[in-house]
Amino acid sequence: MPDLPSVQLSTLTNGVRVVTETTPSRVVTVGVWVEVGARDEHDLTNGCSHFVEHMLFKGTQRRDARQIAREFDVMGGTANAFTAAETTCYYATVLVEALPQLVDLLSDIVLNSRFDQEEVEHERDVILQEIAMVEDTPDDLIHDLFNRRIWGHHPLGNPVLGPPKVIAALSPERIRDHHRHHYIPSRIMVVAAGQVEHQHLCRLWTQALTGDQVVVDNRPTPSSAPAAFRRQAPERLAAQHHIFDRDLEQAHLLLGTYGLAERAPERYAFHLLNTVLGGNMSSRLFQEIREKRGLAYAVYSYLNPHSDSGILGIYLGVDPRMATEAIELTVREIRRLRNQGLRPEELDEARNYTRAVIMLAEENMESRMSRLARNVINFGRALPLKEVLADLERVTMDDVRAMADRIFTSPLSGVALGPLDDGLLNWSSLDS
């Protein structure tokens, strides 16, 4: 198995990190990553990071919103942005010859946005509609409801979009201050994957940042962030069960518990545990609840790791009359995994599936860019593909069973959304 192509890391003199992975390709994906997200907010600023993300496309001193959109379109690639709990990213994929134009555009919107009053008011309405869309999409909404219950009043429990009352009250000054406070060089990283020459990209960003020189530094680490931005770890709370009554056709259930942080040494066993439990179509939950009994169309488990914490969640969309049975079957499969472990062929299939997912992602420049960025943010270096696959190969059946015993020691928390009452839904199996 060949190692990753050339990966290089540099730091500009003002602290902005530049990371590249050079591959033979006709395209290049560039992402500007900022280490700020919903967990860096409080109750009166919840949603501010996401609001800033929207505003960076709404005009700079050199470009208005229409010009920004037009330039992205003229380059003929794809452009987007997202805000998460701990990061915000602005990225685009273009043909190689458009790289200088892309760097000029990305640097302008990230560094020089105006936050005009009129644009803020316009975008406020857009974000309120986005929040309403989530409210009308129960299989999205339930994740926000679950996060609030499992994380309590810690910022990780806040929705990325923010609550409508806070969004309605955010002033242009508050949004601008959030940008100025968090979009600082030590929290910004430029990451590129594709046909890109590292020093050339560094020169382009040096020019965009007006005169900084390039200093090579192969050891950028997450711990280099200023002390003022160190985040408070969340507490682990007792399991909670809550029903949100709503007139829906389905009952949407989300069960879960605390998991591992992004950098946990045992993360590969954790990923394989999730795959066996509910991570694909051959998983135990999918086969038992959907294929064998027909209780759900959608059933899956997922991992949501953060820098210092994480969760394992299980989603089910079921007939309200079948909600209790679906929960009992889920608990039964978890108990069976803890007590009996897994079969050798299950581990092999889960490992092959995970390996294939990783390898297929390598064919996509956006995926490669994101993987490279997350590795540098979380581990301070690029993780060679050979190393990742070797660590995955070392996981044993005993490792997965021990992980199941560790993760599922405490009762599951549960949130239900739909036409449910105490007579239709019984949480008691979660406590067994």
* Predicted local distance difference test score (pLDDT) of residue 5: 54
Pairing mode of beta strands 188-194, 214-216: unpaired
pLDDT confidence band for 431 (50 / 70 / 90): confident
Going by the DSSP 8-state scheme, the letter that residue 97 receives in this structure is: G
Please tell me the CATH code under which domain 241-431 is placed. Answer: 3.30.830.10
Cα Rg, the chain, nearest whole Å: 23
> What percentage of the chain has pLDDT greater than the value 70?
94
* Predicted local distance difference test score (pLDDT) of residue 382: 93
Q: Which residues are catalytic?
A: 53
The mean per-residue pLDDT over the stretch 66-87 comes to 93
**Is residue 419 helix, strand or coil?**
coil
Tens digits of per-residue pLDDT, 332-370?
Answer: 999 999 999 999 999 999 999 999 999 999 999 999 999
Give the Cα separation of 399 and 268 in Å (integer): 9
Of residues 148, 372, 395, 374, the one with CA closest to residue 275: 395
Domains 7-220 and 241-431 share a fold: yes
Asked if the model's pLDDT at residue 215 lies above 50, the reply is no
**Is residue 88 helix, strand or coil?**
strand
> Which of 198-212, 221-235, 288-302 is predicted least confidently?
221-235
Give the Cα separation of 144 and 127 in Å (integer): 16
Tens digits of per-residue pLDDT, 93-139?
Answer: 999 999 999 999 999 999 999 999 999 999 999 999 999 999 999 99
Which phi-psi region, left, alpha or beta, contains residue 293 (left: φ > 0; alpha: ψ -120 to 50)? Answer: alpha
Q: Which CATH class name applies to 7-220? A: alpha beta
Beta-sheet strand order (sheet of 214-216): 78-83, 88-95, 27-34, 188-194, 17-22, 7-12, 214-216
Give the Cα separation of 12 and 116 in Å (integer): 30
* Predicted local distance difference test score (pLDDT) of residue 229: 60
Give the Cα separation of 148 and 167 in Å (integer): 18
- pTM, two decimal places: 0.92
Task: Give the CA dihedral 238, 243, 244, 247, nearest 10 degrees.
Answer: 160
**Is residue 432 helix, strand or coil?**
coil
More confident residue, 386 or 4: 386
Beta-sheet strand order (sheet of 296-305): 241-245, 413-418, 251-258, 310-318, 296-305
DSSP characters over 386-427: HHHHHHHHT--HHHHHHHHHHHTSSPPEEEEEES--TTT---
Q: Which two tokens stand for residue 160?
A: 């990325």
Tens digits of per-residue pLDDT, 143-181?
Answer: 999 999 999 999 999 999 999 999 999 999 999 999 999
Asked if the model's pLDDT at residue 25 lies above 70, the reply is yes
* Predicted local distance difference test score (pLDDT) of residue 213: 37
Asked if the model's pLDDT at residue 212 lies above 50, the reply is no
Asked if the model's pLDDT at residue 197 lies above 90, the reply is yes
* Predicted local distance difference test score (pLDDT) of residue 6: 85
- Other Cβ atoms less than 10 A from the Cβ of 261: the count is 14
Of residues 309, 300, 188, 327, the one with CA closest to residue 260: 309
Q: Where are the domains of the chain?
A: 7-220, 241-431
- Other Cβ atoms less than 10 A from the Cβ of 31: the count is 23
Asked if the model's pLDDT at residue 80 lies above 80, the reply is yes
